[in-house]
Structure 1
Amino acid sequence: MSLSVRLEWGPVGAAAVTAGCDVAVVVDVLSFTTCLSVAADRGVEVWPWARVDDHARELARSRDAVLAVRRAEAGPGQVSLSPATIRAAPVLRRLVLPSPNGSTISATLAERGVPVVGASLRNRVAVARWLRALGGDPVVAVVAAGERRSDGSLRPAVEDLWGAGAVISGLVAGGDVTLTPEARSAAAAFDDVEGDLPAALHACASGRELDDLGFPHYVDVAAEIDLGTAVPVLRAGAFAAN
């Protein structure tokens, strides 16, 4: 088989992915897709949503699911957009997970009829193996989420470049892959920091922000490279381990 891999950024990049693409890989390292990886390893189904609102509350009620609260509002035992809280929850089967970036991108791709999987540094090898198991000559779009500036515009986030590159690097290791220049550059960026990834994550702008807010352990979980074994696949509105 031969894979063709391209790199896109943010919601606008997701909207550019057409039905001719066989699968899209969403990467939002701090913290949406790392949360998906931890949840999938636990067998937790995750319904993505853009924000905490009445629709999210109704979705959680109808699915008998826990609604993740805002990170700053999470008390002891509550789940938020944090992989550490998902891991620590004693009982968790279904989760509605509001995320303005990763959830929005996932929804945009699903609306366009493109199969969606969630990838992070934790499960990048598992995702690469899953993509190779598709067979044929699949066209893959890796969508790095990035962050939003105060005016709503995209701020490319280096941690998502590394996460996207980690998946792409894993595919390259299997051979017979055609990369766009953007995808090749992402893989090179990951290769450059792989040997000192935890320190790089804490030093990048998003990592420093979480450290300053008192959430360094969120970054620590995101840096658990290759420890995740499950691949979260979006079907019928929810991510679940494939």
Structure 2
Amino acid sequence: MENWWAQTGHGVRFDWGPVGAARLAQDVGCLVVVDVLSFTTSVTVAVEKGTLVHPYPWRDESARVFADRLSADLAVGRSAATPTSPWSLSPAALRRAPFTPRLVLPSPNGSTIAAAAGASTVVAGSLRNADAVGRWLAGRGYGTPGRPVAVIASGERWPDGSLRPALEDLLGAGAVIASLRTHGRDLLSPEAAMAAAAFAGTAEIAGAVSHSASGRELVDGGYADDVAVATETDACTVVPVLTDGAFTAA
């Protein structure tokens, strides 16, 4: 089958979700996972504190078994956090929580994409660390046709399990791609160029994310502080890289 889907010939590529990640991972040297609300934002917050973050695709009893095997704490759902188990997928809660050396962070979107990367280097990107990620990638030779990078917007899920493209992830991916271009990696696929244009053309990122479908879900649910953390554009200089099964600072 012709690999038209691979965006061959371009140094910087863009696609959506676990399927897009699995496809592009076959032809790139690095995969940047972008899940703004909230997996990769939470990863940046935890790694800033020195925590090793182990991605896990399911939030079920197997996650507890996995965490126990690693002697790690387990992040729970936002509403399930307690004083004795304060770690959750909420980046604002993670910022307030006490330090833990190891954290298992379940996510059906971001973690699943990280697992789909195969032998590719995996980086956690977000609005918070987009410029740091672009600079790091360019500095290590990624983003050329010979060493391409794929930026993957995680998206969300409809009730039937199908992909729901999410504005916040388009903007987060576009921010990483725009940074790559700023740092000299300008051989963008048309898909990547459009993602960068979406970011560049959005005058008020925080407002756009807050009023997006995903943002409204969190704000209406009482988690406006998570949206606020997620839209701290370029406030973070940490580049989390998946190393031996855990995201750690590069």
Could you tell me the TM-score, scaled by structure 2's length? 0.91
C-alpha deviation, 1:176, in angstroms: 4.2
In the alignment, what sits opposite 2:226? 218
User: How far apart in 1 are the matches of 2:152 and 2:99?
Assistant: 31
Does 1:117 find its partner at 2:117? no
Report the identity percentage.
53
Runs (5+) with no aligned partner, structure 2: 1-9
Give CA deviations for 1:173-210 in whole Å, capped at 9, x if unaligned: 122420111100100100112x3111111110000000
Structure 1 runs of 4+ off > 3 angstroms?
A: none
Alignment of 1:33 with 2:61, yes or no, is no
- For these two proteins, the number of residue pairs brought into alignment is 238
Specify the code of the residue in structure 2 equivalent to 1:178: L
Give the match's secondary structure for 1:179.
coil
- C-alpha separation in 2, matches of 1:40 and 1:241: 6
Q: Which amino acid aligns with 1:218?
A: D
Q: Distance in 2 between matches of 1:236 and 1:170?
A: 27
Supply the distance in 2 between the matched residues of 1:118 and 1:18 (Cα, whole angstroms). Answer: 15
CA RMSD across the alignment: 1.5
Structure 2 equivalent of residue 201 of structure 1: 209
Change (3 A) 1:198 1:176: closer
SS at 2:43 equivalent: helix
After TM superposition, the structure 1 = structure 2 runs for residues 88-107 of structure 1, keeping only pairs within 5 Å, are 88-107=96-115
- Return the match for 2:170 from 161, 167, 174: 161
Structure 2 SS opposite 1:17: helix
Partner residue of 1:144? 153
TM-score normalised to the size of structure 1? Answer: 0.94
Q: How does 1:61-76 map to 2 (within 5 A)?
A: 61-76=68-83
Structure 1 spans left out of the alignment, 5+ residues: none
* Cα offsets for 1:18-38 (capped at 9, x unmatched): 443110100000000001111
Q: Secondary structure at the match of 1:151?
A: coil
Give the letter aligned to residue 114 of structure 2. Answer: S
Aligned to 2:31: 24
Q: Which residue of 2 aligns with 1:129?
A: 135
CA distance in structure 2 between the partners assigned to 1:176 and 1:58 by the alignment: 42
Q: Is the 8 A contact 2:128 2:233 kept in 1?
A: yes
CA distance in 2: counterparts of 1:228 and 1:91, whole angstroms = 18
